[in-house]
Amino acid sequence: MKNSYLLLLIAGVVLTVNSCSGNGEPKEETTQNNARSVSVETVRIEPGDFEDSIRLTGKVEALEDATVASESSGRVLSILNRGEEVRKGDVMIQLDDRMIQAQYSAASAGFELALDTYERLEALYADSIISTQDFLSARAQRDQARSQLDLAEKQLGDTRIVAPFSGRIEERMIRTGELVNPGQPVVRLVNSDKIRVTAGIPERYSGEISEGDPVEIILRSLDDNVRAGSITYAGSVIDPDTRTFAIEVELENQDGRLKPDMIADLRVRRAVIRNTIVIPRTAVIRDETGVFVFKSVMENGKKVSDLVSVTTGMASGSLIQILSGIREGDEVVVSGMRTLSIGDELNILSSESSRERAVRLIKADVQTASHQN
């Protein structure tokens, strides 16, 4: 590639190429002295941290989310409204308990009688006035009456359907006056004060990801709001259909902005390289002779292009690490290279630090991944 550019310059050939609206390349101009001037965009090299990460799409789930079912049969006397907040143990639904209440009263009276009989006979048995068989029969009747009372008490308690945890009633499956049966779903209770984001990681990363690894979570529906967390669970089995293993990230959600079933984008960090040079992948030119970038150099008081060989390192998304060939303070062309030759005068349309450009590209990568999913 270097040779082709040099041959053009030695031969004194000057190319004039008009930019096409279809390819989006900056415009190339010819000055009065027939020296080419090409419009480009550049970045000023500023070393920073380069994070190699895995990008995933996940889903928000409430940490506590349960469909509560009735354990008894009966007619619904009262039920809390959808959207009401409850504390653990609060009564959400009251069933008609009149029949159960009568059964409980009868069982309670039966137990009191059996207990009184047992205590009287126990004293007589101690004095050898009654037989062992009579004493054991009284004790068995007491135990049976106790079991019947416990059962009646349980059935009476089941007429009050209580909240298993603090939360908010999100769905009601029944109405006042309806009959319910044991096992019938009645309400959905959700506590979203803490949530978890679940996702699947491709199996090829199974040896690199573990619990405690840092994660950034971007919420698509919250203006790309970013929240930081860490992996609280990493699965040990591979899903045979998706060839992924599950991860979970737990987050506080006291403001209630995160809703169950929201779509979230995750960036799971694999490695961080400190104080390194990172540029857009599009700035890198590759051919059979090597890897190059155009950079701006001063020549006769003007900024002109020079083609330099570089060594690349790790790549992630739209970014690539440069190990050698450019250094801090260099100005590298990132747009307009298609019509650029060595020695062309540069009309720099915009310039920013390589770190600023990297931040914008990372955000763009996340948005692109979101739309694709």
Looking at the fold, whether 139 and 195 belong to one and the same domain comes out as no
Domain that holds residue 368: 2-49+275-372
pLDDT at 4: 42
Domain at 351, CATH number: 2.40.420.20
HSE-up (13 A, CA, CB side) for residue 158:
20
Domain at 261, CATH number: 2.40.30.170
Looking at the fold, whether 75 and 134 belong to one and the same domain comes out as yes
Distance of alpha carbon 294 from alpha carbon 307, whole angstroms: 5
pLDDT at 12: 36
Q: How far is CA 70 from CA 6, 172, 180, in A?
A: 84, 12, 7
Task: Write out the DSSP string of 54-116.
Answer: EEEEEEEEEEEEEEEE-SS-EEEEEEPPTT-EE-TT-EEEEE--HHHHHHHHHHHHHHHHHHH
Looking at the fold, whether 242 and 206 belong to one and the same domain comes out as yes
3-state secondary structure of 194: strand
Looking at the fold, whether 340 and 352 belong to one and the same domain comes out as yes
Final residue before a domain boundary, out of 246, 272, 298: 272
- Predicted structure pTM score: 0.63
Looking at the fold, whether 344 and 297 belong to one and the same domain comes out as yes
Looking at the fold, whether 58 and 198 belong to one and the same domain comes out as yes
pLDDT at 351: 92
Final residue before a domain boundary, out of 272, 303, 320: 272
Looking at the fold, whether 157 and 58 belong to one and the same domain comes out as no
Looking at the fold, whether 207 and 258 belong to one and the same domain comes out as yes
- Which tokens sit at 310? 């570089």
Placement of tokens 């100005």 in the chain: 331
Number of domains in the chain: 3
Give the chain's largest Cα–Cα span: 134
In tens digits, the chain (373 residues) has pLDDT values of: 444 443 333 333 333 333 333 334 444 555 445 568 999 999 999 999 888 788 899 999 999 999 999 999 999 999 999 999 999 999 999 999 999 999 999 999 999 999 999 999 999 988 888 899 999 999 999 999 999 999 999 999 999 999 999 999 999 999 999 999 999 999 999 999 999 999 999 999 888 899 999 998 988 788 667 889 999 999 999 999 999 999 999 999 988 889 999 999 898 988 788 999 999 999 999 999 999 999 999 999 999 999 999 999 988 888 999 999 999 999 999 999 888 999 999 999 999 998 888 888 877 766 665 555 5
pLDDT at 371: 54
Looking at the fold, whether 120 and 205 belong to one and the same domain comes out as no
Q: How far is CA 41 from CA 27, 321, 346, 361, 364, in A?
A: 11, 19, 9, 15, 18
Distance of alpha carbon 249 from alpha carbon 228, whole angstroms: 10
Looking at the fold, whether 134 and 241 belong to one and the same domain comes out as no
Final residue before a domain boundary, out of 187, 211, 246: 187
Looking at the fold, whether 287 and 258 belong to one and the same domain comes out as no
Looking at the fold, whether 161 and 305 belong to one and the same domain comes out as no
Domain at 173, CATH number: 2.40.50.100
